[in-house]
Chain A
Amino acid sequence: MSPLLEIRDLLVHREKMPVLEIEYLAIEPGEVLAVVGPNGAGKSTLLLTLARLLRAERGQILFNGEQAAAESDLDYRRRIALVLQEPLLLDLSVRENVAVGLKFRGTPAIEIEKRTAEWLGRLGVAHLANRPAKKLSVGEAQRVSLARAFVLQPELLLLDEPFTALDAPTRARLLDDLKSLLAETGTTTIFITHDLQEALKLAARMAVILNGKLEQWGSPQEVFARPVNEAMAKFLGVQPNSSGNL
Chain B
Amino acid sequence: MIEFIRSLFSDPEVWAVTLLSLRVSGISTLISLFIGFPLGTALALGRFPGRAFLYSVINTGMALPPVVVGLAVAMTLWRSGPLGDLRLIYTPSAIILAQTVIAAPVVTGLTAAGLQQLDPRLRLQLYGLGASRTQMILSLWREARLPLLAALMAGFGSVISEVGASMMVGGNIRGQTRVLTTAIVLETSKGEFERAIALGIYLLTITFLINAALTWIQQRGKG
Contact = CB atoms under 8 A, between A and B. Distances in A.
Contacts of A48: 124
A238 interface: no
A52 to B, nearest CB: 8
Contacts of A91: 142-143, 223
Task: Place the interface of chain A in its size category.
Answer: 20 to 34
Task: Place the interface of chain B in its size category.
Answer: 10 to 19
A208 interface: no
Nearest to B125: A88
B128 A78 contact: no
A104 B143 CA distance: 16
Given A90-B139, A91-B223, A53 B132 contact: no
A212 to B, nearest CB: 20
Given A74-B130, A104-B132, A104-B135, A84 B125 contact: yes
Q: Which of B129, B135, B142 has the most CB of A within 10 A?
A: B129
Interface in B139-163: 139, 142-143
B127 interface: yes
B131 A84 contact: no
Contact of A82 (B128, B132, B139, B223): B128
7 contacts: A51-B124, A84-B121, A88-B121, A88-B125, A90-B139, A100-B129, A104-B130
Q: Sort A-B residue pairs by CB-CB distance and give the 7 closest, nearest first.
A: A82-B128, A101-B129, A78-B130, A88-B125, A104-B130, A104-B131, A132-B223
Interface of B: 119, 121-122, 124-125, 127-132, 135, 139, 142-143, 223
